[in-house]
Amino acid sequence: MRTVAVDTDILILGGGAAGCYAALSAAARPGMRIMIAEKAHISRSGCLAAGINAINAHIGRGHCPDDYVDYAEKDAAGIARGDLLASMAGRLNKTVRTLEKLGLVVHKDADGRYAERGWRNVRVNGENIKPLLAAAVQKRDQVRVLNRVNIVSILIDDGRAIGAVGFGTTEAVCYVLRAAAIICATGGAAGLYSPNSPGFAGHCMWYPPFNTGAGYAMGILAGAEMTTLEMRFVALRCKGSIAPTGTLAQGLGAAQINSRGENYENRYGTMTAQRVYGTLRENLEGRGPCRLHAGNLTRPQVEDIYRAYLNMAPAQTLKWLEEEQKDRGEREEGGERGGWQEGKGRDEGSCFLAAEIEGTEPYLVGGHAACGYWVDSRRATTVPGLFAAGDAAGGCPQKYASGAMAEAEIAAEAALEYALEHPLGRCRALSASGAAVAEARGFLLRREEKGKVPFEAGQLEEAMQQAMDRYAGGISAAYRFNEAQLAVAAERIGEITFLSGSLGARDMRGLLRIHELRERLVVCRSLIAHLGARRETRWPGFAEHTDYPGADEAWRLHVNSRLQDGRIRVMFRDLVGRREVYEHRA
């Protein structure tokens, strides 16, 4: 394996929504060298690969950023940082205008104003949003993109982040990247829990299975403080395709209906977690399956929905088309299918569109929930020189695509300032990278050794997912757990972590799989500690601590943690108001 050492001013880990936007923002400053290290290829990597059909965070007419802060705080049942939400919300509309300038087609009404879908949402033709961002990045001479480089570790020298180590995913190259400031934008974590449909369709999940929580794991191992990992995100999605439901729910006002035809939404509330909880309860109490049902549609409306889904989740359109075809076939044969069915309605003229809905396995996503790096108001983590944005950064839920980018701009401004004030002098990057490189070499060499464990990374991944599923509140446990179960989960994760140290990799792809497994295990360990630390149930639907059912006002605080001397130290921090400026204290 060759080693390539590269120096830059600003190093961005992950070239997704936040990473690309951070690069564009930083490139506004002439003379700065910027580098993105991306494990896939920035043209379609990350959450935006399939595209989007709405910008979910935008301040609509007649509203102000404070309204957005109110909404997000309420949706998070109070556990969100006011300062972070306010600075993000203040930049949302500017971000959308920038995206429009880059070529994103935003729907307009008859007066040429953005077509709003509710006051926080604008409709877009966003199938190509990621290629548009990537093309803008590639046009900047100052920005160098390293595609197919999986970053595994942040380099620390004298308490400061000075770079990162990564490995080629196809080529046998080790990259030692040195930078004056680093922005972590590797997204959130999927694949910690058994998915809805294990086995061959196991990656048909909502969050990208390739976002493994690497950024969280690197931060945890570098001693960064993390926040609110216990606020997992469970998405309410179309069964099977795991496609988003907003187009039906907000776009068409579709209702959540149980098998008896009752609309059950208002029984449980309409906050994000409550919608999941309601669907879960209806199923547990024998009133499933639950569906999202939009009635009285015209045929052209149905066709529009098909196109809208093709722009972000083509599998759902395919599912409806298959159902429609089946329905039509049966009608031609003269057969009758009784009861209520998915797909197109039978009567001419009026159609309905429905989809069975279910909760996904839990994810850690700082752009939807409040988990991730504990940052100051300018998005600096507690490790000097390291900044975070997007799904990797905590405290600021309801970011979505535009918020991730708004936050990336804030982080880029802070990182630029830091890089100018603290240029990288002589530092021990190569020696600091020694441990990560030696470990990777070990995995690659172990292939030939005797006495290695007979397991593959994929098997240990499944073992990890099952342990989390059963003992740390996955789907099969109805998102519930108690202290005794968490103790079992912690023990299993410890054992699997130990075993993962003896895996062998055949090639760089194999090495990638081992790194992905091991970073998930690091995240699981901290997640379990957080689930146990919050002794209440604040977000039923996302997580239910059965030893402590019900919310408790004493827990209106942030649960944070830090790895210290090999142990996870949990600490509690006060909420931060929207007019406050939060700085880390030494």
Ligand X SMILES: Cc1cc2nc3c(=O)[nH]c(=O)nc-3n(C[C@H](O)[C@H](O)[C@H](O)COP(=O)(O)OP(=O)(O)OC[C@H]3O[C@@H](n4cnc5c(N)ncnc54)[C@H](O)[C@@H]3O)c2cc1C
Site residues, another protein (CB under 8 A): 39-41, 43-46, 49-50, 105-108, 115, 123, 125, 127-128, 148, 169-170, 197, 199-205, 208-210, 239-241, 247, 251, 301, 303-308, 310-311, 313-315, 317-319, 321-322, 325-326, 329, 509, 512
CB of 555 to ligand X, least distance (A): 26
Q: Which residues pair with 562 in a beta bridge?
A: 569
Is residue 391 involved in binding ligand X (CB under 6 A)?
Answer: yes
The one-letter amino acid at 116: E
Among residues 461 and 544, whose Cβ is nearest to ligand X?
461
How many other C-beta atoms are found inside a 10 Å radius of the C-beta of residue 12?
Answer: 35
539 and 77 in contact (C-beta within 8 Å)? yes
Dihedral angle of Cα 111, 115, 116, 117, to the nearest 10 degrees: 140
CB of 404 to ligand X, least distance (A): 4
Work out whether the CA dihedral 60, 64, 66, 67 comes out positive or negative: negative
230 binds, among another protein, ligand X, none (CB under 5 to 8 A by kind): none
The one-letter amino acid at 388: A
CB of 18 to ligand X, least distance (A): 3
Element housing 4 (H / E): strand 2-13
Among 40, 72, 493, 522, binds ligand X (CB under 6 A): 40
Among residues 24 and 257, whose Cβ is nearest to ligand X?
24
Among 12, 27, 47, 388, binds ligand X (CB under 6 A): 47
Structure tokens at 408: 């990336």
Structure tokens at 582: 């939060």
Is residue 16 involved in binding ligand X (CB under 6 A)?
Answer: yes
Is residue 362 involved in binding ligand X (CB under 6 A)?
Answer: no
107 binds, among ligand X, another protein, none (CB under 5 to 8 A by kind): another protein
CA distance 274 to 264: 11
Is residue 37 involved in binding ligand X (CB under 6 A)?
Answer: yes
Among 136, 180, 214, 414, binds ligand X (CB under 6 A): 214
Is residue 183 involved in binding ligand X (CB under 6 A)?
Answer: no
470 and 476 in contact (C-beta within 8 Å)? yes
Q: What is the DSSP string of 360-380?
A: ---BB-TTTSS-EE---TT-B
Is residue 83 involved in binding ligand X (CB under 6 A)?
Answer: no
148 binds, among ligand X, another protein, none (CB under 5 to 8 A by kind): another protein
383 and 232 in contact (C-beta within 8 Å)? no
374 and 382 in contact (C-beta within 8 Å)? yes
CA distances for 545 relative to 102, 205, 469, angstroms? 45, 25, 14
Among residues 205 and 280, whose Cβ is nearest to another protein?
205
Among 68, 114, 193, 210, binds ligand X (CB under 6 A): 210
Tell me which residue has its CB nearest to ligand X.
16
427 binds, among another protein, ligand X, none (CB under 5 to 8 A by kind): none
210 and 38 in contact (C-beta within 8 Å)? no
Among residues 303 and 552, whose Cβ is nearest to another protein?
303
Structure tokens at 54: 């709405």
Among residues 178 and 534, whose Cβ is nearest to ligand X?
178
Work out whether the CA dihedral 202, 205, 208, 213 comes out positive or negative: negative
Among 15, 343, 473, 541, binds ligand X (CB under 6 A): 15
151 binds, among another protein, ligand X, none (CB under 5 to 8 A by kind): ligand X
CA distances for 93 relative to 54, 178, 193, 525, 539, angstroms? 13, 34, 35, 38, 29
The one-letter amino acid at 19: G
Which residues of the chain form contacts with ligand X (CB under 6 A)? 13-19, 37-40, 45-48, 52-57, 150-151, 185-187, 206-208, 210-211, 214, 244, 312, 367, 390-392, 399-402, 404
